[in-house]
Amino acid sequence: MVSESLILDAPVRPQLEWKTAQGLVPYPEALAQMEARADGIAAGEARELVWLLEHPPIYTAGTSTNDADLLDARFPVYRTGRGGQFTYHGPGQRVGYVMLNLKQRNPDVRAYVRDLEQWLIESLALLGVKGERRDGRVGIWVARKNREDKIAALGVRIRHWVTFHGVALNVNPDLSHFSGIVPCGVREHGVTSLADLGLKATMADADAALKQSFEKIFG
């Protein structure tokens, strides 16, 4: 028998909602919804959320962006408050916007970023890919013959201990679209995707892997 005092003293795990968008979500619309949801979470008026979506082809610039890394503004460019540098979003890339209340979880920014990286690594493992961290380079990398390519990116912002922005996993995007930027400021290496690695994973497969591994990492 569990005493009433133990029940009252038990930590309360935040309620988490998953949402998967249909079609392509314009970036300004996504940003507005993200910020509103993050404010609601901070105020205790909304549940935590992981939002899976795709964007039309765009480039986004983080707070550490070097403008020289924009080589060809062939798509709209959005300045954003997330960390990091230039990145590309577009069809065939699964974006995961993560809105969590770190105050109720673990108020440690570095640990949160590490958890996001581990989430991607374990999701890729479920899909048959060995993703790895690299010192001094943001994102998740795949070792290939005579080179390394980036398969997933991350950039976060935290306000009132609530996270937003998140991760991007290349499932089957047009990799030529990355040529307009120096992705995350790294000139020496390229980008890849599940399809480029010869895997026939669908977006639904990627979503299933992300959901399964998220629970393992974040509860």
Kindly give, in sequence order, each residue whose CB lies less than 8 Å from that of residue 81, ignoring residues fewer than 6 positions away.
63, 157
Please state the rounded mean pLDDT for residues 34-63. Answer: 96
| 8 A C-beta contact, residue 54 and residue 84 | no
Q: How does pLDDT run across 83-113, given as a tens digit for each residue? A: 888 899 999 999 999 999 999 999 999 999 9
157: left (phi over 0), alpha (psi -120 to 50) or beta: beta
Where is 125: in which H helix or E strand? helix 109-126
Is the whole-model pTM more than 0.85?
A: yes
Q: What is each CA distance from 32 to 25, 36, 191, in whole angstroms?
A: 11, 6, 29
Q: Is residue 218 over pLDDT 50?
A: yes
Distance CA 85, CA 63 (A): 7
Q: Is residue 8 over pLDDT 50?
A: no
Beta bridge partners of 60: 78, 87
* Residue tagged active-site, from 124, 168, 184, 203: 184
pLDDT of residue 62: 86
Buried/exposed 56-66: b ≥16 CB within 10 Å, e otherwise: ebbbbbbeebe
pLDDT of residue 33: 97
Distance CA 215, CA 219 (A): 4
Q: Is residue 14 over pLDDT 70?
A: no
pLDDT of residue 11: 45
| List of domains in the chain | 16-218 (3.30.930.10)
Q: How does pLDDT run across 105-137, given as a tens digit for each residue? A: 999 999 999 999 999 999 999 999 999 999 888
Instruction: Give the confidence band of 15 by pLDDT, cuts at 50, 70, 90.
Output: confident
Q: How does pLDDT run across 158-212, given as a tens digit for each residue? A: 999 999 999 999 999 999 999 998 876 566 678 999 999 999 999 999 999 999 9
44 an active-site residue? Answer: no
